[in-house]
Structures are given as structure tokens and as C-alpha cells.
Chain A
């Protein structure tokens, strides 16, 4: 158990709809990362938050947005869904920057599998 919790585990929806994926990081971790994993694209970095602030953006579509709340949980919002958005969405957390001994490895949740029909 990594300590990172993601909900829901599975989600089936239709094209054009909007969904929200939720992530609770490990206790005490300030950094949250979102990744998309699909068969054709592999593991793609989407976005990173640190203590409520957006810190880095990757290959995140404009239809997608995220935020990190004061209690450090994060939500990834996917709107105007397309068939190609079907993928596994992972959240990871890290204690990077929280002490010189920390080497910044990521702890991953088990993912939310999104199927768009």
C-alpha cells in the first residue's frame, strides 16, 4: 500500500461528458502529480501541484484541469470527453523538497481507469 488513494477505480462514461478524478496523497506529502497511461502513448505526465500551487505542466489538454486543495487532496477534471481520453489516470505524491534527505521518489496510487464510450 503506497498510501496514495484514488477514486473512483473505474469509470465508464459517454463522449462529451465531464468527470472528476480524486486523489489523496500520502500523509505529509505536499507534491501531487497526475499521469495518463494509455497503450499507444505510454506514461504521460500531465500536471504537478506543490502545496496548492501549480508547479509544472506536461501534455495536458485544455479540456483537462486540476487543482490541489488546502487539505492537499487533488482533483483532475476531464471535460468534453473523447474516445481517445480512455486511459488509466494515475496520481502520485512525493515529499520532494521537504527535507534534504528526501530523494523525491514518487508514490503512486492504483489509478482510475476511464472508459469513454
Chain B
């Protein structure tokens, strides 16, 4: 069975500092991996996704994530945090070979706080 673990339910960084949100996955088959962001009072929106091309994936708003098979990780980074990055971030995994009852598995989320 697939699973996702996000380390740290809350992460605080100073404005301008590096953002690092950690995600480890478990999957018996090569997965697709996703990061979603949820701003206050909004739905989740896709930040970026890994589908098997480049292992370093660039997303919106300056975020990127690197797929590391040996570490079963897909950590999300941004070189310089901005106040507008304060939100909840979800890592998610799904199978490549799809059965119609397969679903995307979400982590529990990490709330990112930006300190002025």
C-alpha cells in the first residue's frame, strides 16, 4: 500500500530564508508525486508534480521539489520565503498503473508560517 509521511505539522521560517518541507513516500511501484498548497479559506491547488521526466521539478511561485528514489523522498523547497507563502502544504502519491478505484494518498499536511 502507498503512504506519505510529512515531517513536521508546523514549520516556521523567516521572510527571505530557505523553505524546506519534507515528504517521504512508500510505494511498491514507481509513483507519481504531487505537492499541493492550500491558502486560508481556499481549496487545494497543485504546486508541482513528478511524473518521471526530470527528477528536479519546478512548480509555481518559485517552488521546486526533487525526487530521490534512494531516499524515497520528495522534499519541497523555495530559496527565499515570502509572506504570501504562508499556507498549508500537502504531499501526495499515486500509482502510475491506474485502476479505477485507485486514489491519490495525501499526507497530513504541513502548515508553513513566515516570520517577518
Contact = CB atoms under 8 A, between A and B. Distances in A.
Nearest to A47: B103
Interface in B37-64: 42-46, 49, 51
B54 to A, nearest CB: 14
A108 B43 contact: yes
Interface string B72-116: 000000000000000000100010001011111010110000000
Given A2-B43, A43-B109, A90-B43, A96 B101 contact: no
B79 to A, nearest CB: 25
B90 A43 contact: yes
B100 A50 contact: yes
B108 A108 contact: no
A48 B101 contact: yes
Interface string A37-75: 000001101001010000110100000000000000000
Contacts of A8: none
Interface string A70-94: 0000000000000000000010101
B45 A103 contact: no
Contact of B32 (A58, A92, A97, A104): A104
> 5 closest Cβ contacts across the A-B interface?
A108-B43, A56-B101, A55-B101, A108-B44, A110-B43
Interface of A: 2, 4, 33, 42-43, 45, 48, 50, 55-56, 58, 90, 92, 94, 96-97, 103-111
